[in-house]
Amino acid sequence: MSKQTPEPGSGHLRDEEFQPEILVSDTVFEGAVWDVRSDRFRYNDGEITRHYVDHPGAVAVVAIDDQDRVLLIQQYRHPIRHRDWELPAGLLDIEGEDVLVAAQRELAEETDLAAEHWEPLLSTFTTPGGSDEVVHFFLATGLSAAHSTHMRLDEEADIRAEWVPLADAVAAVLDGRMRNALLVGGVLAASLRRARA
C-alpha cells in the first residue's frame, strides 16, 4: 500500500524520530556549560561522522501582564557582540529538575517575579544541524514579586528588564529589530495563541 501524503491542516504533519546505529560516540571538547560530541553512525548504505553541541536543554518564559505587555530582558551576548532583547530563559542544568520548575526558577532568578498561572506554549529544536538543544517555552500570567531577590553576576549583573506591549514586540520581530530566536518563537507563538483565544 502506498503511503499517502496527509492533507494540509490534518494534524498529521509532525517531526519523525529516527535512531540510526551509532558506531562511535566521543566527547571531543568538554566545556563549562556544554560539550562537543563526535558521532559516527550508519545512514542509508554508508557511514557519516557529525560533530555537534551536546546541550542539556533549556526553558524560556513568555511572561505577560494584565495590560497585555510581555516582559523582555536585555543582556550582553559575547558570541554575537550584541546586547540583545530576550525572554527570561535558562539551562536545564539541574539533574532531574522538571521543566516547569526550571521555568519558574529562571523567571525568579532573572526578573525577581513569580507567576500564578503557567501554560506550556511550544518546544523547539534551536539549531538541529549543530546541536541537540531543545527549548521548552511556557506562558506565564498572574505575575507578582517573587519571595526573594537574586544576585546576578557577569553578563547578568546589568540585565535590563522592560515591559513591552505584545503587539510592539511582534512588530519589532517582524521588522527585524529583535532577532533572538527564543524571543522570536515565544513572542509570535504567544501572540497567535491570544489571537485564537
Q: Which residues are catalytic?
A: 156
* Distances 111 to 23, 87, 135 between C-alpha atoms, Å: 44, 10, 19
CB atoms within 10 A of CB 183: 23
Burial of residue 109 (CB within 10 Å: 0-12, 13-18, 19+) is middle
- Report DSSP state, residue 156: G
Burial 69-91 (b: 16+ CB within 10 A, else e): bbbbbbbeeeeeeeebbbbbbbb
Nearest-angstrom CA–CA distance, 191 and 121:
11
Residue 96, C-alpha cell as written in the block: 532531574
As given in the structure block, the three cell numbers for residue 60 are 524560556
- Dmax (CA) for the chain in angstroms is 62
